[in-house]
Every structure is written in structure tokens, then in C-alpha cells.
Amino acid sequence: MSAHPKPYLTPEEYLVLEREAETKSEYYDGEIFAMAGASRVHSQVSANVIIALGTRLKGRPCIVHGSDMRVRVSPTGLYTYPDVVVVCGKARFEDKHTDTLMNPCALVEVISPSTEAYDRGTKFAHYRTLESLTDYVLVSQDRPLIEHYTRQPDNRWLLAAYEGLETVVQLPSIACELPLAEVYDKVEWPQEEAAASTLTVLKEATPGWPPRLRRGEASP
């Protein structure tokens, strides 16, 4: 017995459903794809990026949006929700609802094990077709690492990687910078949380913790 084929939805039908839905979904080639929820670290890193960019772009004709701003990749027909969207100059929207942006200049995705292959591959292939896009930024949520793709005059994309909390990503296309210390502010990675939890257990289970050394006595 064959499975029933999925119904084909037009972009207009997708938008009607999406504007009434409680959860977000991507749309491509007549199909809707539900988006998974974000982890705590993912949400925190995204918020930090929005704060860092928004602070530096104050007083300038640029606006920073979070993941509630839907983006339409017109050349391919993809509708999606980047983690962070920057638009400079006059924003162009698909319709009067002004909830589907068509001309972002910078897009940021916070990658996770479940989304990394898509963000690096298929999704970036869609994004590259946007004539307005000059910068694509991939932010790791597992360690302090940011990869920045910049569009070149010949439409090639140049990759620069920044690793370590002391480094700063340069975004010359929007005359802005993104310090990793701010992107990962107050972020605790799983291994750090595990170490802190172990230390707490030791403190609670060991009488007289922490041990006090007598003068002249070496630590174990």
C-alpha cells in the first residue's frame, strides 16, 4: 500500500498557515519543514550576538533582527528563519505584513550538531543567491569559534576563522566588529557544567571541605 503523497503548498498558502502557527517552519518547493527548538546555549549565544551587533549599529541605518524575522531567498524560493539578521538601508518585504525580509546584508547562524551540515551546505547555497548578502557568519555553540564568509567582488566567498575569546571578528561590509568575548559572555559549556557539578558534590560529601593547609605544608 503506497503512502499518500504530501500536498503541494504554494508560498501564499504557506504564509497563511505560518502566520497562524504556534511554532516556526521553513518552506521550500511546496513543502513545510518544522524547525526544532533551540538549546539554552544556542539561545544565549544568539542573544549575545544580537546585543553585540545592535550596540555597535546604533545611530546607523542598520537594524538587527532575531530569529522571529522570516527571510525569503527569492532566487530559490526558500523561506527560513536565520538566528540573526542584519539589514542596512531600506528594508524590502514580501508584502504588507512586513514579516518576510527579502534583502538581508548579513546573516548569522548558531550551529549545533543537528544543524551544522545544513547550515554549512544546503542552506548556505541558498543564501549565496541573495544579491544583497555580503556576510555569512557561523557561530559554534560548543566552543569559542566563529567562521566568517565574505562575498568578494567576483562573487567568490572568502572564509576567515576566529578562535578564542580574545579574538574579534571584523565585518567591514557593515563597518562593524564582533568580539568573541561578548558573543560567549556568560556561556557555560557542558563540560564546564559537569566539572562544576562534580565540585559541588565533593563539597557536600566531604567534611571540612575545602581542606585548609598549615603554614609550610604542601598541597597534595
Task: Give the helix/strand (H/E) hosting 71.
Answer: strand 70-73
Interval 119-142 mean pLDDT? 97
pLDDT for position 48 = 98
- Please indicate, yes or no, if residue 25 is contained in any of the structural domains: no
CATH number at residue 184: 3.90.1570.10
b/e 55-65 (16+ beta carbons within 10 angstroms → b): ebbeeeebbbb
Interval 128-136 mean pLDDT? 98
pLDDT for position 101 = 98
Interval 112-134 mean pLDDT? 95
Total domains, the chain: 1
pLDDT for position 196 = 43
- Please indicate, yes or no, if residue 166 is contained in any of the structural domains: yes
Closest CA to 11 of 92, 82, 100, 129: 100
Edge-to-edge strands of the sheet including 135-140? Answer: 62-65, 84-88, 106-111, 135-140, 145-151, 157-163
- What's the CA gap between 51 and 49, in Å, rounded? 5
Residue type, 30: G
pLDDT for position 114 = 86
Confidence at 113, pLDDT banded by 50, 70, 90: confident
- Please indicate, yes or no, if residue 23 is contained in any of the structural domains: no
- Please indicate, yes or no, if residue 29 is contained in any of the structural domains: no
Edge-to-edge strands of the sheet including 100-101? Answer: 31-34, 25-28, 78-80, 70-73, 100-101
Say if residue 208 is exposed, middle or buried (CB neighbours under 10 Å; 0-12, 13-18, 19+): exposed
Q: Give the tens place of pLDDT for each residue, 179-219.
A: 999 999 999 976 654 344 433 443 454 455 444 434 444 44
- Please indicate, yes or no, if residue 220 is contained in any of the structural domains: no
Q: Give the tens place of pLDDT for each residue, 1-42.
A: 455 567 899 999 999 999 999 999 999 999 999 998 788 999
Full domain range(s) for residue 118: 39-202
- What's the CA gap between 92 and 102, in Å, rounded? 6
- What's the CA gap between 123 and 78, in Å, rounded? 9
- Please indicate, yes or no, if residue 62 is contained in any of the structural domains: yes
- Please indicate, yes or no, if residue 71 is contained in any of the structural domains: yes
- Please indicate, yes or no, if residue 208 is contained in any of the structural domains: no
